[in-house]
Amino acid sequence: MDLAFTKEEQAFREEVRSFFRDNVPPDTRRKLVEGRHLSKDEMVTWWRILNKKGWGVSHWPKQYGGTGWTSVQHYIFNEELQSYPAPQPLAFGVSMVGPVIYTFGNEEQKKQYLPRIANVDDWWCQGFSEPGSGSDLASLKTKAERKGDKWIINGQKTWTTLAQHADMIFCLCRTDATAKKQMGISFIVFSMKSKGVTVRPIQTIDGGVEVNEVFFDDVEVPYENLIGEENKGWDYAKFLLGNERTGIARVGVSKERLRRIRDLASKVESGGKPIIQDAAFRDKLAACEIELKALELTQLRVVADEGKHGKGKPNPASSVLKIKGSEIQQTTTELLMEVIGPFAAPYDVHGDDGSNEAMDWTAQIAPSYFNNRKVSIYGGSNEIQRNIIAKAVLGL
Amino acid sequence: MDFDLNEEQRLLKESIDGLLTDSYDFESRKKYMKEKGGWSRTVWGKLAEQGLLGLPFAEADGGFGGGGVETMIVMEALGKALVLEPYLATVVIGGGFLRHAGSDAQKAAHVPGIVDGSKTLAFAQLEKNSRYDLFDVTTTAKKKGDGWVIDGEKFVVLNGENADTLIVTARTKGERRDKSGIGVFLVPADAKGVAKKSYPTQDGLHAADITFTGVEVGADAALGNPDDSLALIERVVDEARIALCAEAVGLMDESLKTTVEYIKTRKQFGVAIGSFQSLQHRASDMFVAAEQARSMSMFATMAADFEDAKERSNAVAAAKVQIGKSLKFVGQQAIQLHGGIGMTMEAKIGHYFKRLTMIENSFGDTDYHQRRVADGGGLI
């Protein structure tokens, strides 16, 4: 057992850190620190900088543009990225559909899609959830019917993150209504510009629009847009969701937020002195930091295990990462609310137009508290994660 | 970055797990409790035979040169089997003082007896009002000739009843809560002026309150600098806390395992109660708590070698907080999921719960250590 990173790993961390320092646009970083939403342009600009450096799709196999890093290097990269902070690569392309295409797609599809994912020439979104299927994903109803060399797609997806920016969607569609529910699903990709696709924004309780409903009305899609085999979509979806867990603990994000809390708490006064001097507050902050340290170690155990024994099938320990990671993220947003106290209330109608400088540092704190309630719901709710542990680990 | 055991460590784990599987089931433990002092000399002898009592000592001193990871392996195994024998008091704490501060003569006098199992030690540190502050010492050691005279009262000294040698913290200079002027002394348990009042503890161990009245010890009794040994005490107590964290991880593993087995077999309404989702989620949360505790136990074990004492003690404090929170949750829920049978002395789960609970209140509880981390500027 050895906790220390090697000299090479430490040097790698320095390299990553200094690259972020020199290349993340300062305004992009500021907005992330303040919990603001970024524009499409701001995100794409950064991702292309990252891709030019060769780090855009770092975990892909080398022949498709990956870096060949070790598990520990990936861990370091993600932690530095999250805690700098800089925008994380667009998960829907880089972590979800990309690996499905290079694992199950044909050569033509790999050539057509992978470079464009890496450079975010196409913005991808995920067509999985439906109004009636939350955690019970396999109950989905969106239908793809084969007509000659085309699919005709009808149905509705929801919770489609950033669909308003999307060029492409990967969709789970029912292609065999007679099969058992997991068996009749196919994985089909198509353009969001197709005739018959309608995107309707859903405003969430933080006031923002991150998610959307997407309607398909007789959408015509070329047959060759099917990935892998017909009716095998559920297997690909499980593969994809296994990948989604990596980095789900978001240790770096919480670290960055805790630093911000400490910083704000030494400026904001309570009882005539900075709130950081209040013992009760400091205890709560320490409690959260300790939880995060434990989570970081748990994550490192999983990383070290993957490095040594290979990735294999998804590690049930990732459910621990999801549960604790989301709880800690939520606690950090609660602590921020506590720090700003009565200044949680003003609603920032002006956005980030610089017209209300005094409010800049508080404006996004309540929204980000509201927004972070999602983290224990998405990616398999924390209750689903507990089901997974009970079944896969405890054998209940 | 590596969390795996090496080959030797794996063998160590196998051998102690094997030994305890053979000699430490719950029924045997009940018998050991009735032996003199509340633990088994036979088991202690077996631990000596396997080299476990000499594990952390340098080979030059007759030991086996084991480090923190080796102690962690042993303590986890001892926790898993709910062992009564005074490994913490003798090998971890007593041994710790000798390893870090013992002169060659002191080591020669005490280490061989520890290693061969013929001698045990106890740490007389807690005072009536000191609570968890190690520098809060009123027991005095006054210079007399080349030696010292020790006066004072110590409480809840684990293994105090049986120990051959007591390791006593006493003030040579200054006021009650001064951080300097504290020494550590080796005192023979049968020295004139040592009076012991022994009792069992809640978790089935044994402890003693010990009064020192004009106890005379020689020049060779002081471990380290008699006027300035707080740093030594903190270091050894940090090692004790780390060992307790590992013991708690072993206790939690076994508590969870026992509980899961129970809810798989216990039937109500015609089905195993483990098929109910509310119980499954509770058990999953116990697993999460136990894993977080394991992570921090490993962290603390590796932090023991941090060069910066402040960084080390911050890490150990953080670990003790996580372990304290996890053990409370795992312990309480283990009882809850067992239902009525968990309330009885005949089921083993209650005994695990009691030992876990006592660990929380040893060498600083959750609030105490959380405050230490908070006052130390946090962990990020």
Q: Which residue has the higher pLDDT, B271 or A357?
A: B271
Which residue of B283, B321, B379 is in closest CB contact with A390? B283
Contacts of A371 (CB under 8 A, 6+ apart): A35, A204, A205, A206, A208, A210
Phi, psi of A197, rounded to the nearest 5 degrees: -95, 125
In the prediction, which pLDDT does B308 show?
86
* Residues B304-342 pLDDT 10s: 888 788 899 999 999 999 999 999 999 999 999 999 999
Q: CA A274 to CA A277: how far, in whole Å?
A: 6
Inter-chain residue contact A5 with B1, CB threshold 8 Å:
yes
Closest residue in A to B10 (Cα–Cα)? A1
Say how far apart CA B232 and CA B101 lie, in whole Å. 8
CA geometry: angle at A292 spanning A286 and A296, to 5°? 145
Shortest Cα–Cα distance, A218 to chain B (Å): 41
Estimate to the nearest angstrom the gap between the alpha carbon of A384 and the chain centroid.
18
**Residues in CB range of A110: below 8 A, 6 or more apart:** A64, A101, A102
User: Strands A150-157 and A143-147: what pairing?
Assistant: antiparallel
B283 touches chain A (CB under 8 A): yes
Q: How many CA within 13 A on the CB side of residue B40?
A: 17
- The whole-angstrom separation of Cα A152 and Cα A144 is 5
ipTM above 0.90, yes or no: yes
User: Chain-wide mean pLDDT for chain B?
Assistant: 96
**Is the distance from CB of B45 to CB of B117 less than 8 angstroms?**
yes
Helices (H), chain B: 7-23, 26-34, 41-49, 68-80, 87, 95-101, 104-115, 230-265, 277-303, 309-338, 349-360, 366-375
CA B204 vs CA B157, B207, B344: distances in Å: 14, 10, 15
The rounded distance, in Å, linking the Cα atoms of B16 and B299 is 22
Give the pairing of strands A168-174 and A124-127: parallel
* Rounded Cα distance, A121 and A118, in Å: 8
For chain A, how big is the Rg over CA atoms in Å?
A: 22
User: How far away is chain A from the Cα of B98, in angstroms, using its nearest Cα?
Assistant: 25
Mean pLDDT across B264-272: 96
Q: Which of B3, B4, B295 sits opposite A294 (nearest CB)?
A: B295
CA A120, distance to chain mean position in Å, is 16
CB atoms within 10 A of CB B57: 23
Total residues belonging to chain A:
396
> Comparing C-alpha atoms, which of A282, A218, A292, A260 is closest to residue A368?
A260
Side-chain-facing half-sphere of B274: CA atoms under 13 Å: 21
pLDDT of residue A304: 84
User: pLDDT 10s digit of each residue in chain A, 396 long?
Assistant: 887 889 999 999 999 999 999 999 999 999 898 888 899 999 999 999 999 999 999 999 999 999 999 988 999 999 999 999 999 999 999 999 999 999 999 999 999 999 999 999 999 999 999 998 877 888 999 999 999 999 999 999 999 999 999 999 999 999 999 998 889 999 999 999 999 999 999 999 998 899 999 999 999 999 999 999 999 999 999 888 876 555 789 999 999 999 999 999 999 999 999 999 999 999 999 999 999 999 999 999 988 887 776 665 556 778 999 999 999 999 999 999 999 998 888 876 655 555 555 556 677 899 999 999 999 998 889 999 999 999 999 999
The answer to whether B77 and B17 are in contact (CB under 8 A) is yes
Percent of chain B at pLDDT exceeding 70: 100
> What is residue A62's DSSP assignment?
G
Q: How confident is the model at residue B296 (pLDDT cuts 50, 70, 90)?
A: very high
CB atoms within 10 A of CB A272: 6
pLDDT band at B286 (very low <50, low <70, confident <90, very high): very high
Give yes or no for a contact between A5 and A13, defined as CB atoms under 8 angstroms apart: yes
Q: Where are the alpha helices (DSSP H) in A221-278?
A: 233-244, 251-265
Question: Collapsing DSSP states into helix, strand and coil, what is residue B153?
Answer: strand
Which residue in B129, B162, B133 sits closest to B36, CA to CA?
A: B162
A interface test, pick of B71, B266, B291 with most A CB neighbours within 10 Å: B291
Q: What residues of A are in contact with residue B263 (Cβ under 8 Å)?
A: 396
Q: Give the per-residue pLDDT at A244.
A: 54
Among B322, B375, B380, select the one facing A258 at the smallest CB separation: B380
Structure tokens at B229: 């040994």
The three-class DSSP label of residue B212 is strand
Return d(Cα A296, Cα B258) in angstroms, integer. Answer: 28
Taking Cα atoms as reference points, which of B328, B330, B336 lies closest to residue B366? B328
- Cα B335 to Cα A158, A386, B258, B363: the distances in Å are 43, 20, 11, 25
**The amino acid at B36:** K
On chain A, the residues whose CB falls within 8 A of the CB of B3 are 1, 300-301, 304-305
B63 has pLDDT over 90? yes
CB-nearest partner of A2 from B1, B371, B379: B1
Q: Nearest 10 degrees: CA dihedral of B73, B13, A293, A19?
A: 130
Chain A residues 253-292 with CB within 8 Å of chain B: 255, 258-259, 262, 279, 282-283, 285-287, 289-292
Angle between helices A279-309 and B309-338 (to 10 degrees): 80
Question: Is pLDDT at B154 greater than 90 in this prediction?
Answer: yes
Tens digits of residue pLDDT in B75-118: 999 999 999 999 999 999 999 999 999 999 999 999 999 999 99
Min Cα distance B1 → chain A (Å) is 5
Closest CA to A220 of A186, A194, A182, A251: A194
Provide the pLDDT for residue A353: 54
Are A137 and A237 within 8 A, CB to CB? Answer: yes
Q: Which residues contact B164 (CB under 8 A, 6 or more apart)?
A: B113, B119, B120, B121, B188, B189
Chain A residues touching B373 at Cβ < 8 A? 286, 289-290
| Distance from C-alpha of B273 to C-alpha of A110, rounded to nearest angstrom | 50
Q: Which chain B residues are closer than 8 Å to A300 by Cβ? A: 1, 3
Share of chain B above pLDDT 90, in %: 95
The helix (run of H) or strand (run of E) holding residue A53 is: helix A40-53
Crossing angle (nearest 10°) for helices A279-309 and A71-83: 150
pLDDT, tens digit, for every residue of B117-137?
999 999 999 999 999 999 999
* Chain B CB within 8 Å of residue A297 CB: yes
Residue A177, chain B, CB below 8 Å: the answer is: no
> Contact at 8 Å (CB) between B210 and B124?
yes
- Interface membership of A396 toward B (CB under 8 Å): yes
Give dist(CA B345, CA B40) in Å, integer: 21
For residue A275, the one-letter residue type is: I
Q: At what angle do helices A40-53 and A26-33 cross, to 10 degrees?
A: 120
Is residue B223 predicted with pLDDT exceeding 90? Answer: yes
Instruction: Give the tokens for residue B123.
Output: 């740490």
In angstroms, the Cα distances linking A194 to A144, A190, A217, A218 are 14, 8, 10, 10
Distance CA(A360)–CA(A328), nearest Å, equals 24
Mean pLDDT score, B295-309: 91
Q: pLDDT-derived band of residue B288, with 50, 70 and 90 as boundaries?
A: very high
Q: Taking CB atoms and an 8 Å cutoff, what residues of chain A touch B285? A: 386
How far is the C-alpha of B9 from the C-alpha of B241, rounded, in Å? 21
Number of residues assigned to chain B:
380
Q: Which of A220, A196, A199 is nearest to A209 (CA)?
A: A199
